[in-house]
Amino acid sequence: MLERINKYFPRLLAVLFAVIIIFISAPIVYAEEGTCGSNLTWSFSAGTLTISGSGEMYSYNDKNYAPWYDLREDIVRIVLPEGLTSIGRLAFYECKNISSVTIPSSVKTIGESAFAFCENIQIMNIGKAVEIIGKSAFSDCYSITAIKLPNSLFSIGTKAFYRCETITTITVPANVTKMGTSVFSYCKNLVSATINANISELPEYTFYGCEKLSTVKLPDSITEISDYSFEGCNMLDTVYYNGENIEREELQEKIEESAPSFEENGSVSSGEVGNVSGTNIFVENPDGSVHLESTTVEQDENSTVSTNSNATINLDGSVTDVVTEMDVVVNNDSGWTEAVDSTKDVLNEYGTNEDGSENHVDMYLYLEEGASIDSTFVETIAGKDITVTIMTADGSVWKLNGKDIDVAALSGEYNLSYVLEPGTPELCEELGVSTCFVLKFLAPAEVNAEVLIRIGPSYGRQNATLFQKDKKELERLQSVVVDGEGYAHFYLGSVSDKTEYYIAMNLPGAAEEAIVPENMMAEYGNLEYTEPIQYEITGRKSSWGMNLGQVMGILGIVMAAVIIFVGGIMFMWNKARLKNGYVPKFDDDEE
């Protein structure tokens, strides 16, 4: 027996080692569907996490994270259903590649740290029925541009919006009776705040580190300002208080304890925060010129416009080196009028120098509802030196360059929604790749645009090639390099909801002609193209590869040319006949 063991032991040991090696080298496959509540299920596909069903979501902890936690860096979109009543604790913790979230109107509770460290969320549309926002629910969501808190809200937890660095204005509704500490700490771009909450004491560290905060309205019920509530708010100059529970002089003293600069620059008075607030920061340069940073926030019922402009004021009083950025949040269709008017004002004030030359303006436009772009807005930016990056509530991103937009070719149809789904093995084989996607635009649009399709960060720096299916034939449109955030930047002159589009990953031979997006140029040695990038016409096409508007324009020009040409021939012919003695005759009835 011992001899047999000695004989086969080396073989058994070798087999055991082989099994171990195979096990540890096998890729980890994460589950992509499951349950997340008594009546809730979840599924993940092509970067989209979809929650289905109704009722409360399970809550999680740091020993038992949400079942999709291991997929968190691959999640780029979240779809939440009507009927969902709560979002669990740590539900979407560290899902850093989500760009927008719409919370349904059925949700009443957002759990602790539910969206904490979702650092790339830019649009956060909180449902109208939310009553409780838990501790650190949106902590360290650095990129959220605007938050509209619903009137249903009555409790805001500690650090709920801690380090939401991009928020410029906030209004806490009157039904709020509970506010934790540090709710808006380190919201460093917050300019104005209206606190209508029914509270007697402003909690500790409420606005700690809000270095641009200039205007605050406190509730009538306030009697106490806690320690460090306004610590670091060195730009604070106006506090409105309309109550009678505390004398304004005493209130001023309490604010000064947190913000010493308020003693010199600030005042407490009655009134309301207007729809326009702003700050100006002056820094003297070594040569005696002054650097000016001007921030203005205009908030109306249906939109919010934040403008940040940096410029140099020279010794002779001239203004140079103007750099302007706008953040425009359109809450609903009614907000377009306000957004268009504000855009015109900014272009007039900052977009043109005294000598008539243009300054470039960068705009980031966020649509909290829907995905349609108002035609008047597109006409407003057409021909101007302005770049507009548009993000919709469903995560669609388009980039428009005003100088590339021809007003005469505009169609008036601009809806940016799309759906991305994995392609079948048969489709991938037909395209000649191992990975592919089906791209569906949900509405037509005709405008030159850089269309950003979010494939996912795991595909960063790979090549993506766009195809369309025209009748039964595949047409290859454009190849691009996917950027580090997982966006494929396609340059399109039109899209159609009636056309089938496919994206092929790493198509053989595509690397040589793939377009590198602007945000990756440095990685390619600051690559510059010798010719402008062409916008591909897709969807409705003529036999010449042009859209209907372009074809009709060309036909109009051709017809006009034919009329002029024929008219000229007839004129010369008649002139020659008259010269040869021809006398025209008229009937008596025509005289």
For the chain, the distance separating the N- and C-terminal CA atoms, rounded to the nearest angstrom, is: 134
pLDDT at 221 over 90: yes
Exposure class string for 223-243: b at 16+ Cβ within 10 A, else e: eebbebbbbbbbbbbbbbbee
pLDDT for the residue 249: 92
Interstrand relation of 132-133 and 155-156 (parallel, antiparallel or unpaired)? parallel
pLDDT for the residue 69: 96
Question: Quick one: average pLDDT of 424-433?
Answer: 96
Would you place residue 570 in the very low, low, confident or very high pLDDT band (cuts 50, 70, 90)?
Answer: low
Task: Please write the tens of the pLDDT for every residue from 162-175.
Answer: 999 999 999 999 99
Q: Considering the domain 27-167, what is its CATH architecture?
A: Alpha-Beta Horseshoe (3.80)
pLDDT at 89 over 90: yes
Give the predicted TM-score (pTM) of the model.
Answer: 0.81
Would you place residue 574 in the very low, low, confident or very high pLDDT band (cuts 50, 70, 90)?
Answer: low
Question: Quick one: average pLDDT of 271-293?
Answer: 90
Neighbours of 6 (CB within 10 A): 9
pLDDT for the residue 330: 92
Question: Quick one: average pLDDT of 344-366?
Answer: 87
pLDDT for the residue 540: 57
Report percent pLDDT > 70 for the chain: 85
Question: Rounded to whole angstroms, how far apart are CA atoms 52 and 36?
Answer: 9
HSE at residue 468, side-chain half, CA atoms within 13 A, is 21
pLDDT for the residue 27: 37
In SS3 terms, 360-421 reads as: CEEEEEEECCCCECCHHHHHHHCCCCEEEEEEECCCCEEEEEHHHCCHHHCCCCEECCEEEE
Question: Quick one: average pLDDT of 333-358?
Answer: 87
Question: Quick one: average pLDDT of 97-125?
Answer: 95
Would you place residue 566 in the very low, low, confident or very high pLDDT band (cuts 50, 70, 90)?
Answer: low
pLDDT for the residue 548: 45
pLDDT for the residue 319: 87
Mean pLDDT of the chain: 86
Question: Quick one: average pLDDT of 188-197?
Answer: 96
Q: Which of 439, 476, 461 is nearest to 517 (CA)?
A: 461
Which parts of 244-306 fold into alpha helices (H)?
248-258, 262-265
List the structure tokens of 369.
């509802």
Q: How many helices (H) and strands (E) does the chain have?
A: 7, 33
**Amino acid sitting at position 171:** T
Question: Quick one: average pLDDT of 185-191?
Answer: 96
Pick the range with the lowest mean pLDDT from 102-116, 163-177, 311-325, 549-563. Answer: 549-563
pLDDT at 559 over 90: no
Would you place residue 260 in the very low, low, confident or very high pLDDT band (cuts 50, 70, 90)?
Answer: confident
Higher pLDDT, 91 or 567: 91
Would you place residue 543 in the very low, low, confident or very high pLDDT band (cuts 50, 70, 90)?
Answer: very low
In order of 97, 129, 132, 488, the CA distances from 365 in angstroms are: 19, 26, 29, 19
Q: Which of 173, 215, 172 is nearest to 190 (CA)?
A: 215
Q: The domain 417-541: what is its CATH number?
A: 2.60.40
Would you place residue 558 in the very low, low, confident or very high pLDDT band (cuts 50, 70, 90)?
Answer: low
Q: What are phi and psi of 539, to 5 degrees?
A: 80, -125
Question: Quick one: average pLDDT of 179-202?
Answer: 96
pLDDT at 577 over 70: no
pLDDT at 15 over 70: no
pLDDT at 503 over 80: yes
pLDDT for the residue 563: 66
- Continuous segment of H or E residues that includes residue 278: strand 276-284
Report percent pLDDT > 90 for the chain: 64
pLDDT at 197 over 90: yes
pLDDT for the residue 572: 66
Task: Please write the tens of the pLDDT for every residue from 127-153.
Answer: 999 999 999 999 999 999 989 999 999
Pick the range with the lowest mean pLDDT from 15-19, 250-254, 263-267, 388-392. Answer: 15-19
Task: Please write the tens of the pLDDT for every residue from 231-245.
Answer: 999 999 999 999 999
pLDDT for the residue 19: 42
